[in-house]
Amino acid sequence: MTDARVGLQFVDFETGTLLNVKGTAKLVKDINNGERPLMGRGLRISVETMIRAEGALPLRYSFGTYSDRNPANSPKAKALEFL
């Protein structure tokens, strides 16, 4: 990894709150000691700055229902739930 900087933005659409996290990331090659084959790699993030802005987003949305085209509702996704 040539540039380890990372920035993540989390949005709460119901309240308009934004959470901004900045830091550095490190690639972890064997995150679970081989116990879960689909989760062989991951990122370990060292947080340097975290900013929470209450009500910063002027738009508000509330959750309705999942789309019938959502892959999380597919039979394949349900088969992977045991992992």
pTM: 0.62
Domains in the chain, number = 1
- What are the counts of helices (DSSP H) followed by strands (DSSP E) for the chain? 1, 3
Q: Closest Cα to residue 5, out of 26, 20, 19?
A: 26
pLDDT by 10s per residue, the chain, length 83: 588 999 999 999 899 999 999 999 998 876 666 666 666 677 889 999 999 999 998 888 887 777 777 776 666 655 555 54
Residue 35 near residue 82, CB atoms below 8 Å: no
- Strand 5-12 to 17-28 pairing: antiparallel
Domain range spanning residue 45? 5-82
